């Protein structure tokens, strides 16, 4: 086996581990049921991190009004911020959510872009797609659709969206540079990129990156800030900002990352108007 073949196999194993973990969360038993055998969300910490606990969601940046507007079951408490609050969305715009889960950020974005706008959620976990589509039906969201796919290979046309958002998902992708290139590809000239994710404040060892539990719990897949900026710049983005969130805003769902120096951050960038 060549080194490239070995890397590809390792990347696919990571995707399978992530898909399995979040498939269990999306299952009818869910991560909050004793039948699921798991109480872990993205942070791998307390059970409240995957049960849609309102206090936790408010702590990472959602307002009580936003949470009250959601269909039941849309908030699984898996995020580390509120990407829809990082920028203004205009009526009629098209928004793409990378790793849309049960649909929380898609539904909030849909409210902002209005009936003339459109929101597309992409997730690689079939169970999450089923759950999100049912939530859209329950909430009467006719301007939201969910597509099965990997965020490294988006099922979305070139220059077809105005805004790309994501919430604590890109760190789970084995090839983050490819994710950023795909986001750049699908954005229209002048399009905006707004992401809540985790970043590393110190180096993470290869042994830690190879630990499937650490990776799939939004821990060891995090990159350092300068590496995130470098990859976004290489993808073509400009006006790149990475703002670390106060540790006071950390939640129980991120306690497991503390030993690795992993914290949540708000990431913004723009596609040049001439690109």
Taking residue 156's Cβ as centre, other Cβ atoms within 10 Å add up to 21
User: Is 244 a domain residue?
Assistant: yes
Pairwise CA distance, residues 75 & 15, whole Å: 23
What is the span of the domain harbouring residue 92?
3-270
Q: What is the model's pLDDT at position 118? A: 98
Pairwise CA distance, residues 254 & 42, whole Å: 8
Q: What is the model's pLDDT at position 245? A: 84
User: Is 266 a domain residue?
Assistant: yes
- Report CA torsion sign: 37, 42, 44, 47: negative
Which residues have a Cβ under 8 Å from the Cβ of 40 and sit 6 or more positions away? 21, 31, 47, 49, 50, 217
Pairwise CA distance, residues 83 & 143, whole Å: 19
What value does the mean pLDDT of the chain take? 87
Provide the domain count of the chain.
1
User: Is 28 a domain residue?
Assistant: yes
Q: What is the model's pLDDT at position 4? A: 61
Find how far residue 1's CA is from the centre of its chain: 33
DSSP 8-state symbol, 30: -
Integer CA distances (angstroms), 115 to 8, 91, 110, 137, 191, in order:
42, 8, 8, 15, 20
pLDDT of 246 above 70:
no
- Three-state secondary structure readout of 183-227: HHHHEEEEEEEEEEEEEECCCCCHHHHCCHHHHHCCCCCCEEHHH
Q: What is the pTM of this model?
A: 0.88
Q: What is the model's pLDDT at position 49? A: 43
Pairwise CA distance, residues 198 & 122, whole Å: 19
Q: Which two tokens stand for residue 231?
A: 């990859």
User: Is 93 a domain residue?
Assistant: yes
Q: What is the model's pLDDT at position 27? A: 82
**Phi then psi dihedrals of residue 237, to 5 deg:** -75, 155
User: Is 13 a domain residue?
Assistant: yes
The position carrying tokens 């960038």 is 269
Q: What is the model's pLDDT at position 37? A: 39
User: Is 141 a domain residue?
Assistant: yes
Name which residue leads in pLDDT, 30 or 182. 182
DSSP 8-state symbol, 148: E
Q: For 36-57, write each residue's pLDDT tens digit.
A: 434 444 543 333 344 455 788 8
pLDDT band at 259 (very low <50, low <70, confident <90, very high): confident
Name which residue leads in pLDDT, 110 or 220. 110
pLDDT of 189 above 80:
yes
pLDDT band at 6 (very low <50, low <70, confident <90, very high): low
Q: Which of 243, 217, 200 is nearest to 85 (CA)?
A: 243
What CATH number should be reported for the domain holding residue 130?
A: 3.40.50.150
User: Is 275 a domain residue?
Assistant: no
CA atoms lying within 13 Å on the CB side of residue 159: 7
User: Is 123 a domain residue?
Assistant: yes
């Amino acid at each position: 086996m060549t080194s490239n073949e070995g890397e590809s196999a390792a990347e696919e194993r990571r995707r399978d581990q992530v898909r399995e973990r979040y498939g269990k969360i999306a299952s009818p038993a869910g991560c909050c049921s004793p039948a699921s055998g798991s109480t872990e969300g993205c942070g791998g910490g307390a059970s409240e991190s995957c049960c849609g606990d309102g206090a936790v969601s408010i702590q990472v940046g959602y307002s009580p009004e936003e949470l009250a507007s959601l269909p039941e079951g849309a908030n699984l408490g898996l995020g580390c911020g509120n990407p829809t609050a990082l920028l203004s969305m205009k009526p009629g715009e098209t928004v793409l959510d990378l790793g849309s889960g049960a649909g929380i950020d898609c539904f909030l974005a849909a409210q902002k872009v209005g009936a003339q706008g459109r929101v597309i959620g992409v997730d690689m976990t079939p169970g999450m797609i089923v759950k999100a589509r049912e939530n859209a039906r329950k909430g009467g969201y006719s301007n939201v659709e969910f597509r099965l796919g990997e965020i490294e290979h988006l099922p979305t046309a070139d220059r077809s969206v105005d805004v790309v958002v994501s919430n604590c998902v890109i760190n789970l992708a084995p090839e983050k540079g490819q994710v950023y290139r795909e986001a750049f590809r699908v954005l229209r000239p002048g399009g905006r990129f707004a992401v809540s994710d985790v970043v590393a404040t110190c180096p993470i060892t290869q042994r830690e990156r190879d630990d499937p539990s650490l990776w799939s719990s939004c821990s060891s897949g995090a990159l350092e800030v300068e590496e995130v900026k470098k990859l976004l710049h290489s993808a073509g983005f400009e006006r790149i900002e990475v703002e670390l969130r106060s540790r006071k805003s950390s939640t129980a769902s991120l306690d497991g990352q503390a030993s690795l120096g992993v914290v949540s951050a708000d990431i913004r960038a723009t596609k040049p108007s001439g690109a």
